[in-house]
Amino acid sequence: MSKLEIHQIPVLNDNYLYLIKDPDSDAVGIVDPAVAEPVVEKLEELGWTLTHILNTHHHMDHTGANLELKEKTGCMVVGAGNDAERIPGIDLRLADGEMFDFGTQQAKIFEVPGHTTGHIAYWFEQSDALFCGDTLFALGCGRLFEGTPMQMWNSLRKFLDLPDETRVFCAHEYTESNAHFAMTIEPQNHDLRERFDLIQELRSQGKPTVPSLLGEEKATNPFLRPDSDHIKQTLGMPGADVVEVFAEIRARKDSF
Ligand code: ZN
Ligand code: FE
């Protein structure tokens, strides 16, 4: 079976948009269009016609071009049903566990509240692709603007069940600063040290660190590892439960 064709478009300071196409149909989508112009340019360059906007959450740097692109192309806007009033132009309201049909491809929808109350992620299993917005970042996670640590942990842990080869298409290039922070949380982690070096090298050459693989996130991202004994030791929280540890890591990152 074919996999999605995916073009990564860097915009604004550190946002990534993803222009996706199902090779076996006319379905063309843009994930989290912050701005319209680079999307329109890329569509013209590729000769594609936009059919869908896939939103992960309501923030302007993810939905800013919804209405303009919808007006220009007549595409369908897809987003979180439980946050529909904040998703401009929403047509299709999705909920946890639903399958979203994108041409011949299907995405499983995960409701992943924490960064915002109505945040969803799209998992295209046959393409090994997870579009997770501002929930999981390479070596980081989103700030808790509207949710609790427990909510965010329960959201992130859903991703732990997905295959290691899943590519994590997050919405921001925050990796270098996340890597510096991660090293303060689990300096004993050899995989993390190696990844830290690689990230430094990529960024010094101006290259993206996104997408990453879910397997490397599971092994090195402190926000997926609150049950690590090394992390508990570093934080001086032996015996604490995962949510307490997760909350402490998030709190430290907020003031890092
Ligand atoms: Zn956001
Ligand atoms: Fe964002």
Q: Nearest ligand, CA of residue 17?
A: 2
Range of the domain at 175: 5-254
CA of 1 to the centre of ligand 1 (A): 33
The pLDDT > 70 percentage for the chain reads: 100
pLDDT tens digits for range 150-183: 999 999 999 999 999 999 999 999 999 999 999 9
Cis amide linkage into residue 187, ω under 30° from 0: no
Which structure tokens are listed for 240? 């604490």
**What pLDDT, on a 0 to 100 scale, did the predictor assign at position 1?**
75
Residue 141 has pLDDT above 80, yes or no: yes
7 is catalytic: no
CB neighbours of residue 165 within 10 Å:
9
Supply the pLDDT for residue 203.
98
Q: Tokens for 191?
A: 């995989």
For residues 23 and 15, give the distance between their C-alpha atoms in angstroms, rounded to a whole number: 25
Annotation says 59 is catalytic: yes
How high does pLDDT run on average in the chain? 98
Among 22, 52, 58, 115, the active-site one is: 115
Of 52, 59, 83, 119, catalytic: 59
19 phi, psi to nearest 5 deg: -95, 120
Which of 45, 164, 38, 49 has the alpha carbon at shortest distance from 103?
A: 49
Whether 134 is a known active-site residue: answer yes
Domain count, the chain: 1
The residues, any chain, with a CB within 8 Å of residue 173's CB and separated by 6 or more, are 10, 14, 16, 208, 209, 210
The predicted model gives 27-37 an average pLDDT of 98
199-237 pLDDT tens trace: 999 999 999 999 999 999 999 999 999 999 999 999 999
| Per-residue pLDDT, 159 | 98
State the ligand closest to the CA atom of 86: 1
Q: Is 230 part of the annotated catalytic residue set? A: no
- How far apart CA 64 and CA 35 sit, in angstroms, is 6
> Is pLDDT of 126 > 90?
yes
What separation in Å is there between the alpha carbon of 149 and the centre of ligand 2? 18
Question: How far does residue 65's CA lie from ligand 1's centre (Å)?
Answer: 15
What confidence tens digit (pLDDT) does each residue in 67-123 have?
999 999 999 999 999 999 999 999 999 999 999 999 999 999 999 999 999 999 999
Percent of the chain residues topping a pLDDT of 90: 100
DSSP string, 111-141: E--SSSSS-EEEEEGGGTEEEEETSEETTEE
Ligand 2 mean position, distance from CA 171 (Å): 6
Q: Which residues sit opposite 121 in a β-bridge?
A: 110
pLDDT at 60 over 90: yes
Give me ligand 1 centre to Cα 194, in Å: 29
Residue 190 bears catalytic tag = no
Q: If pLDDT is split at 50, 70 and 90, which confidence band does 189 have?
A: very high
User: Residue 229 C-alpha to ligand 1 middle, in angstroms?
Assistant: 31
CATH number, position 35: 3.60.15.10
